[in-house]
Amino acid sequence: MQYKSKIRRDGEIPYIVKYRNIKYPRLEFRTGELVLVLPHNGHNPEEIIKKHRKWIEGKLKFISDHIGRSSKLKLKQRSVEELRSAVSEFVEEHAEMLCVNVNRIYIRKMKSKWASCSVRKNITINSLMRYLPDSLIRYIVYHEMAHIIERKHTRRFWRAIEREYKNYSEYEKDLFFYWFRLNRLPR
């Protein structure tokens, strides 16, 4: 069960607390807001903020420095069906390159990632990808299909990515900017 508190403030740091059935507390910045995910067993949010204040402030500065750039990004306008068609085309293209097959493609709203690949070789695509340029969609599809070969982000995985995308860190950075751009749009 998850409980969500109102926005709190510790000095100038706004944050949200969510309680989950987890063992250890964690800090997240998925949409640029600080979220403390805490176990139900009584961790004090203020103590966690105090302990990690330097890291939090650094992350907030990094995000605010980059929000300006993200607001200038051009968004592609395509329907979900057009996205599905593009993804299918890229899956076909990459299947030969990687020597893997994808079982099914799903498109749905996702809160925290662009896409995922299941152990059953199903790829789920975040519907927000319809706003991305084709080059980033192609990269994300390749990235997810590489997970069929290697489940985790190991050196072997990144070598597979690097074979086709030598500058994959640039793609990852661009996805970061688009994430903030798209997650700040009114829904």
Q: Taking 80 as the threshold, does the pLDDT of residue 86 lie above it? A: yes
Q: What pLDDT was estimated at residue 136?
A: 98
Largest interatomic CA distance in the chain: 54
- Choose the final residue of a domain: 71, 94, 127: 71
Same domain, 89 and 111: yes
Q: Whole domain around residue 138: which residue ranges?
A: 80-182
pTM here is: 0.76
User: Binning pLDDT at 50, 70 and 90, where does residue 1 land?
Assistant: very low
Per-residue burial over 56-79, b = 16 or more CB atoms within 10 Å of its CB, e = otherwise: beeebeebeeeeeebeeeeeeebe
Asked if residue 52 belongs to a domain, the reply is: yes
- The span from the CA of 53 to the CA of 12, in Å, is 11
Per-residue pLDDT tens for 126-184?
A: 999 999 999 999 999 999 999 999 999 999 999 999 999 999 999 998 998 898 888 76
Per-residue pLDDT tens for 7-64?
A: 455 566 888 899 999 999 999 887 778 999 999 887 889 899 999 999 998 888 877 7
Residue 184 CA, chain-centre distance (Å), reads: 14
Per-residue pLDDT tens for 49-78?
A: 999 999 998 888 877 777 777 778 899 999
- The span from the CA of 63 to the CA of 176, in Å, is 10
Same domain, 175 and 92: yes
Same domain, 99 and 130: yes
Q: Taking 90 as the threshold, does the pLDDT of residue 111 lie above it? A: no
Same domain, 64 and 87: no
Mean pLDDT score of the chain: 88
